[in-house]
Structure 1
Amino acid sequence: MTSPRLVAKIESEKPTLRLAVLIDADNAQAAVIEGLLAEIARFGEATVKRIYGDFTAPTSASWKKVLHKYSIKPVQQFAYTIGKNATDSTLIIDAMDLLYTRKFDGFCLMTSDSDFTGLAVRIREEGLTVLGFGEQKTPEAFRNACHKFIFTEVLRPALEESELDGNADESKSSKKYKKSSEKDKTEDKKETFPTQFLLTALEQSSDDEGWAELGTFGSYLNKLQPDFDSRLYGYKKLSQLVKAKQDLFVTEERDVAGGTHKALYVRAK
């Protein structure tokens, strides 16, 4: 079941959770670190930031460039034996040590490796929030073990048109190809828009008249599918998605009792 504290944080602008951020350098990309930390800030404060890997290896060069900038503590782990991942063991041991300090409200695990499924489950058993971050290749078992799983593809910085000006032809071609590929992926996602999934979640979260408050609707979406993210379908927020899909939803803003702001309600069309 989704943590009540996590549900409260999804649409909130006041972070309250104390989070430990643990990054598996062997299964994560340095290019998304800025977006990752910005995303984590939506849920709470990253009081511990550690990254695990063999930073003597050439494959870790991209990480070494961002560790100091974002105050991430590197934990060096040499590969003692070929074919054995010592990094995973070190991260898991550290996570358990941090868990038993009782100083944290949740953990952010950045990895695309299913080996951390058991760790996510163990942390949840202690009543703490687990936020997962990984690529779309991340196995379903790990994604579902988290309260909320966010694909790192949506955290990549968008290429600006100005970046294409003044560069070499080869660089232009490469960037344009990347933009085209990203556009194609977005279009693919739109073709597989989860209509039935959204309508099912809306039905489960609605009142007798078929209306659901957006926060309640979002909570049910995450209970049913922790890796659901409106950004995968071209919308920054769930509110933008339901307003845009007028063929599926009807939206209505209502005054909040005792407040000055309005709440968004949604029902199936």
Structure 2
Amino acid sequence: MNAPSDLLAVLVDADNVPPSRIGAVLAEVARFGTASVKRVYGDWTTTQLNSWKVAASEHVIQPMQQFAHTRGKNSTDSALIIDAMDLLYTGRFQGFCIVSSDSDFTRLASRIREQGITVYGFGERKTPTSFRNACDQFTYLDVLNTIDGETSADAPTAERPATSSPRDDVRLIEGLRNSVSTASSEDGWANLASVGQLLRKWQSDFDSRNWGYAKLSELIRATGQFTVEGHRVRVGTTSR
């Protein structure tokens, strides 16, 4: 995780993100650094963004006007991309937070990462794999703690179905085994933080909250295939 002093640019696609989620997103962003630039893009002359006007004011996010000049063409996306590149070239930022579920930002995320800058993505479950994988870290909106009146992340919704058992998730088990094996020392023990970092590199949308667990250690224990002691983990259970 980046140092709290890192400067971040937060760019929000108002057409793709409900305003009720933005408070939780900004709280998550604060874990990675300081959001020195916060902008939300859309056509503010339309009634569809009325609720966003309140949220933008409350969270001190600068609304960026972009008229929809042509039907079927998303000019909002283009405006966000152009601004992101302008901000990138200033060299001021250590990270960019792109808040959208739109695959149109896949190339933007890849381009920013080419400069050695971290990209944090935030979006709904419907977000295409291409955009999720283009980010260093991608977080689903529904796992974030409620701040602006949304349903609690602990409760299943149409957007967030009931979590399956970690014991039955083959992709999770495989990723954990590979990460623990790679991070382990000669005695077979691996540092939990190192395991989490490796998982994020291999699966950008990995988050223990996707399975309903607040901490990585809790998720690993729930699989029943690892031993966790303090801040370290190893493959295999230990009888006590």
Contact 2:23 2:148 in 1 (8 A): no
TM-score (norm 1): 0.80
In the TM superposition, residue 26 of structure 1 has moved relative to its aligned partner by 1.0
Aligned residue number for residue 181 of structure 1: 157
What CA deviation, in whole Å up to 9, does each residue of 1:122-169 have, x standing for no partner? Answer: 101111110001111111111111110101111251899xx9xxxxxx
1:68 counterpart letter in structure 2: S
Correspondence for 2:213: 235
Report how many residues are paired: 233
Q: 1:230: Cα distance to partner?
A: 0.4
% identity of equivalent residues: 48
Q: Which residue of 2 aligns with 1:258?
A: none
Distance apart, 1:44 and its partner CA: 0.3
Partner amino acid, structure 1, of 2:233: V
RMSD: 2.5
Select 2:144's aligned residue among 120, 133, 155.
Answer: 155
Distance 1:180 1:100, change over 3 A: closer
2:167–2:173 Cα contact (<8 Å) kept: no
Give me the TM-score of the superposition, normalised by structure 2: 0.89
Q: Distance in 2 between matches of 1:158 and 1:70?
A: 12
Q: Does the 8 Å contact 2:143/2:209 carry over to 1? A: yes
Residue in 1 that maps onto 2:104? 115
**Alignment-derived partner of residue 18 in structure 2:** 29
Residue 265, structure 1, aligned to residue 232, structure 2: yes
Distance 1:192 1:49, change over 3 A: farther
Match of 2:70 in 1: 81
Q: Which amino acid aligns with 1:119?
A: L
Q: Which residue of 188, 202, 205 corresponds with 2:183?
A: 205
Deviation of 1:208 after TM superposition, in Å, equals: 2.2
- Give the number of the structure whose alpha-carbon radius of gyration is greater: 1
Q: CA shift at 1:53, angstroms?
A: 0.4
**Consecutive unaligned residues in structure 1, runs of 5 or more:** 1-7, 164-174, 254-263
**Partner of residue 9, structure 2:** 20
Q: Which residue of 2 aligns with 1:145?
A: 134
Measured at CA, do residues 57 and 221 of structure 1 come closer, stay the same or move farther in structure 2, by a change above 3 Å? Answer: same
- Residue 183 of structure 1 deviates from its aligned partner by 10
CA shift for structure 1 position 189: 6.6
